[in-house]
Amino acid sequence: MAFTRIDDKKITLNCGIEQPNCIIVLDQVLPSIVNVSRGLREGGIAVLNDKRPPDGVDLGVKLSKLATVDATGISIETFGPRAIPITNTTMLGAFSKATGIVEVESLFEPVLEKFPGRVGELNIQAVEKGYELTKVKVFPGVEEAV
């Protein structure tokens, strides 16, 4: 489990988040093991590594948006088979599409800084595929948690 706060202003708070507005689940098996939506605010957004379309997923929480993408499949296609698939950059693309908080293009430079050369290019491909292939369901009448 990891926590990230996103704001236009400087963030000085540094602790776990008990009631997130958004969850991103990188491991497709995790929701069958633990309650990934525990504490998620009503009107929250869930972005899942899941082959199913959003209509096939119920987290038991009143969401404003639910997004799914087969990040494991994209990882295998992009990076080749691995014991632990690389889903993080695919899920960044999915997060961008689901929330609009971050422009997908703004992810490219930091990814290339972190992973120079061919590895960076593959990760950019994963970000782009994650963005393109993410399916987002918007729940009408549910106000987005802020």
Is the model's pLDDT at 146 over the cut of 80? no
Residue 84 lies in a domain: yes
Q: Which pLDDT score, from 0 to 100, does residue 14 have?
A: 87
Query: In terms of C-beta distances under 8 Å and separation of at least 24 residues, what long-range contacts does 106-112 make, across chains too?
Result: none
Of residues 145 and 23, more confidence is placed in 23
Residue 80 lies in a domain: yes
Asked if 131 and 6 count as a contact pair (C-beta separation under 8 A), the reply is: no
- Domain membership of residue 1 (yes or no) is no
Residue 17 lies in a domain: no
Average pLDDT over residues 45-56: 97
Flag whether 91 is in a domain.
yes
Q: In what order do the strands lie in the sheet with 135-138?
A: 22-25, 44-49, 63-69, 135-138
Q: Which domain holds residue 43?
A: 22-138
Nearest alpha carbon to residue 92 among 112, 77, 64? 112
**CA–CA gap between residue 98 and residue 34 (Å, rounded):** 23
Mean pLDDT of 10-27: 93
Give the number of domains in the chain. Answer: 1
Q: Is 68 inside a domain boundary?
A: yes
**Is position 15 within any domain?**
no
- Structure tokens that stand for 74 in this block: 């994209």
Over 90: is that where the pLDDT of 1 sits? no
Whole-number Å distance between alpha carbons of 46 and 39: 12
- Over residues 54-112, the pLDDT tens digits come to 999 999 999 999 999 999 999 999 999 999 999 999 999 999 999 999 999 999 999 99
Q: Which pLDDT does position 81 carry in this prediction?
A: 93
Q: Which tens digits make up the pLDDT trace of 108-145?
A: 999 999 999 999 999 999 999 999 999 999 999 899 98
The span from the CA of 124 to the CA of 107, in Å, is 8
Q: Is the pLDDT of residue 8 over 90?
A: no
Of the chain, the percentage scoring pLDDT greater than 90 comes to 88
How large is the average pLDDT for residues 29-52?
Answer: 95
The CATH number linked to 92 is 3.40.920.10
Instruction: Check residue 3 and give its pLDDT.
Output: 86
Residue 146 lies in a domain: no
